[in-house]
Chains A and B, each alone.
Chain A
């Protein structure tokens, strides 16, 4: 168990180090000088040099890389070129929207998909199964921004139950914010739930054909009991993988939905920063996203080990 943990943590750290290197190099080769962008067309060379000094851009790439990484380790991500505020502040503010939105969407998708997949699998070929899987097909097929607009038209414009866009900030109160995030969360959750329910269904169907389910049935368990006592945990393993991938995807991939609902989230921040050549923000967010993806993968690995004793031994 301990060797398993050590191995996983080592690979986590190595992945992070390598990814900071790759991000740094990529940002270096991206055309566009942030200083020129900030100074505008009329800036003098002297002023530009002064700005370079201020931003720490006057030294070589190696130094810049180490400054950047050591800064991040100490929680100092630098100062945004465009907004002139600490990057940490900027990200924190946006993450307070994106992270809850992601979790909300993921919860919704899990709550819908797991029972739907389970019911479909246990009633394979029935009307319920066919219609659930039909919906799932539809959920994957329709673009989620279009679905988001439909939601706004129906719930905000017609029924006037939700506000159409914007985010009041957490000071306004938990439930008000939750309400503001509901329509975006539903639109994000729809395609995810559709995929997840299909994975759940096929996973349960596979498990139901396993020999150990037959053994359980021979003990005298009914089909349902055998599924719940022996099948479900086995069926969750592929579902966990997909959930981990979806979390990472939603965290930064919510940009379209953030735009539809005018939410100040991470996705939009990255987008704006790229356009404005605010490279330090881009670098930081991308690194943070990598960090979160790697961490989520790590957590999923731990969950695997919690579910499956074979993985706890650290040899596979």
Chain B
């Protein structure tokens, strides 16, 4: 039975066309995936269904919920539909809950909206039941818990609980796991699929990553620049896809294994020995964010550091960069203690995660990229600087015309290129990549990864790549460290660890990381079972 049908739907906001002639259809108890890069209009499409659009939106065509056109509804009627038929989950769980109200209040409010006559006792019971349904233990997370006590994954569960509490017929999940760790992502996805199975809810799953949705979706819609470029049943989609953009997305999702023919030198560039970083907590014993960690990075080596958020990998990175004092241990760069040594600063540089937040918006690209020159003993002339900046911009794929532009004139991927240029400008021996591609779309991500690999090889730079995603790390490192709760639990050659993980935590990380080849295979197996 068709639950929702989008027919010849177009959307413009302040006369700018956002969506053009969209057609799609979702059946009850099925999963429809909308995949596309940022700016493809996929989020607007999902907001349009629930009619929570910015001001100045003009809609054309039809969105039929059980053959009832939602676009004809008044705002009051739409509120009723949101209460009773439509639920939504958003990308950013950290801010999706009101920080001043308990999770219980927020869930109960939703229940009460759909069921105004419910008695308080039943209301409490139902709220507890729903938290249980999203696998939140009621002893650890009672109803009077405030959102700030919860992690991102837990908050996302509460948001799902809010949506579920209204027994929706259709759940729209807009990048529900993009802001989460791979392991949490896998759990949340599993939960959503259970809902489809147990309650027959239809789900629209919006994502930029084909690998995340491939084994879950029944139907895949590929969107680009406000248009549907291709869609089809998942069973046959990957075999029959024709559009070049679909293939591009597919290739981006399918990671190539790292080429092993790199030569690792014997010279130790970075040595971390028994490093411990403690944080003093009020009324509690100190927290060891990094606990007795030792490793080395040799010349030419590409080292990965993987772990979920909160495992201490970012603290470790900050210690290595000298941005934070550590409690115990040693960090040597080129055989010398690093902390506070300005002349060693040239040897190591960093590319951070957020390409939007890591630039001063009032500086030109030239000034931004030239900034690290201040660590040089002999100051360069303006001309020398410019020549170097231009050469570096060319290396990262930007042009001469970009020199005088400001950060806001670039896309996320381009900004990350600028960040890489800035990191490489002093010709460092090591660069530290702290989740440098996590905020990027898959296609852009592979481009940036390719760029990093080529550049570091060409310039002979070693790097430490920090990420929560094993798939990304696998593609770009030859050796990997796995970190959990401040301790390194496993280390070894990337290919080997990936093939034959020893620690159970590493295993769970590998299983959780989205892999399109595996996804398609499991989908096919499922189909075979069904047909047998």
In the complex the two chains form, is A218's CB within 8 Å of B76's CB? Answer: no
CB neighbours of B92 from chain A (8 A)? 211
Main secondary structure of the interface of A (DSSP, over half): helix
Residues 75-94 of B, flagged 1 when their CB comes within 8 A of A and 0 if not, give 11001111110111010100
Q: Which of B50, B88, B99, B148 contacts A234 (CB 8 A)?
A: B99
Instruction: For residue A144, give the distance in angstroms from its CB to the closest CB of chain B.
Output: 35
Nearest Cβ distance between residue B446 and chain A, in whole angstroms?
29
Give the contacts of A223-241 with B (CB-CB under 8 A): 229-230, 233-234
Chain B, Cβ-Cβ closest to A212: B98
Q: Which of A214, A218, A308 gathers the greatest number of chain B CB atoms within 10 Å?
A: A218
The interface-forming segment of B107-115, B363-371, B388-396 is B107-115
- How many positions in chain B have a CB within 8 Å of any CB in the partner chain? 35
The verdict on A212 contacting B146 (CB below 8 Å), with A218-B50, A220-B113 known, is no
Contact A217 B52 (CB under 8 A): yes
A222 near B75 (CB under 8 angstroms)?
yes
| A221 cross-chain contacts in B, Cβ below 8 A | 79, 113
Contact among A214, A215, A220, A222 for B114, CB-based, below 8 A: A220
CA distance A266 to B163 in the complex (A): 57
Restricting to B99-157, which residues have a CB under 8 Å from any CB of A?
Answer: 99-101, 106, 109-110, 113-114, 146, 148
- Taking CB atoms, residues of chain A closer than 8 Å to B146 are 309-310
Which residues in window 279-316 of A have CB below 8 A to B? Answer: 307-310, 314-315
Q: Among A3, A214, A219, A233, which residue has its beta carbon within 8 angstroms of that of B109? A: A219
Partner of A310, one of B109, B113, B148, B283: B148
**A210 in the interface (beta carbon within 8 A):** yes
| B95 contacts partner chain A, Cβ-Cβ < 8 Å | yes
Instruction: Check if B100 sits within 8 Å of A211, measured CB to CB.
Output: no
Quick one: given A217-B52, A220-B113, are A307 and B83 in contact (CB under 8 Å)?
A: no
Of the candidates B79, B162, B163, which one forms a contact with A222 in the assembled complex, judged by CB atoms under 8 Å apart? B79
Question: Is A230 a contact of B113 with CB atoms below 8 Å?
Answer: no
A177 within 8 A of B: no
Residues on B with C-beta less than 8 A from A233 are 100
Given contacts A219-B110, A219-B113, contact A212 B83 (CB under 8 A): no
Q: Which residue of A lies closest to B168 (CB)?
A: A218
- Which of B101, B148, B159, B166 is the one whose CB lies under 8 Å from A230? B101
Q: Is the CB of B76 within 8 A of A211?
A: no
**Contact status B96-A211, CB under 8 Å:** yes
Total of A-B residue pairs, C-beta within 8 Å: 75
Over the window 85-97 of chain A, the binary record of Cβ atoms lying under 8 Å from chain B Cβ atoms (1 yes, 0 no) is 0000000000000
Is A36 located at the chain interface by the 8 A CB criterion? no
| A216 in contact (CB, < 8 A) | yes
Q: A219-B83, A220-B82 are in contact. Are A214 and B75 (CB under 8 A)?
A: no
Contact of A220 (CB < 8 Å), options: B83, B90, B101, B148: B83
B75 to chain A, nearest CB (A): 7
| A220–B79 CB distance below 8 A | yes
Would A218 and B100 count as touching, CB distance under 8 A? no
Contact partners of A215 in chain B: CB under 8 A: 88, 90, 96-98, 106, 159, 162
With known contacts A222-B75, A310-B146, A214–B90 Cβ distance under 8 A: yes
B98 touches A234 (CB 8 A): yes
Does any Cβ of A come within 8 Å of B387's Cβ? no
In the complex with contacts A211-B92, A309-B146, A309-B148, A218-B87 CB distance below 8 A: yes
CA–CA, A308 and B147, complex, Å: 11
Whole-angstrom distance between the Cβ of A245 and the nearest chain B Cβ? 22
Judge if B282 is at the interface, Cβ distance under 8 Å. yes
- Kindly list chain B residues whose C-beta atoms are within 8 Å of the C-beta of A219: 82-83, 109-110, 113, 162, 166
CB A5 to nearest CB in B, in angstroms, measures 14
Contacts of A218 in B (CB 8 A): 50, 52, 82, 86-88, 163
Q: Which of A215, A217, A308 has the most CB of B within 10 A?
A: A215
Which residue on chain B has the smallest CB distance to residue A233?
B100
Q: Contacts A215-B162, A310-B146; is A220 near B98 (CB within 8 Å)?
A: no
In contact, A210 and B82 (Cβ under 8 angstroms): no
Q: Is the CB of A315 within 8 A of B79?
A: no
B6 to chain A, nearest CB (A): 18
Q: Tell whether, in the assembled complex, residue B100 and residue A307 are in contact, meaning their CB atoms are under 8 Å apart.
A: yes
28 interchain pairs, CB-CB under 8 A: A211-B92, A211-B95, A211-B96, A212-B95, A212-B99, A215-B96, A215-B97, A216-B109, A218-B50, A218-B82, A218-B88, A218-B163, A219-B83, A219-B109, A219-B113, A219-B162, A220-B80, A220-B81, A220-B84, A220-B110, A220-B114, A221-B79, A233-B100, A234-B99, A234-B100, A308-B100, A309-B148, A315-B282
Which 10 pairs, one residue from A and one from B, show the smallest C-beta to C-beta distance? Answer: A220-B83, A220-B82, A211-B95, A218-B88, A212-B98, A309-B146, A219-B110, A230-B98, A211-B96, A220-B79
